[in-house]
Structure 1
Amino acid sequence: MASLGIDVRGRIAADERAEPGRALARLTDLGWGERLRGLLGPDAPDGEVPEPVVSAVVEVLRAWD
């Protein structure tokens, strides 16, 4: 990042920090990651999210304490 002139030292300001959250998968994962890459990739067409993905996301959120 230094070669781009971006200083990466110090702390991230509190109002710029990510909040706690959940994810169905990382795009590099096997299983859901492969399905998500197809849905979110640069060549993916716009469209509705398939029901199995919606159901899996709901389960992840339901399990969140």
Structure 2
Amino acid sequence: MSRRVLRWTGAALAVGSAIAMTAYSLTVGAEHADPLVRALGAFTGLAGLALVAATADRHDRRDGGS
């Protein structure tokens, strides 16, 4: 899969997730939505860290890093 497709897919998922979490929070109230939103935020953060680690590893190999 090309980088362009991955970028657009990632952007679409991020925007969709933000819209869905906002709609859910407005529907059930912030107090009830808080645990789910926190869990999704933690998952998103870990996925971002994994993506950065994978990308950094790829750049190190390409640039001849250790």
Higher relative contact order (CA 8 A, sep 6+): 1
Relative to the length of structure 2, the TM-score reads 0.30
**Structure with the higher fraction of residues in helix conformation:** 2
TM-score, normalisation: structure 1: 0.31
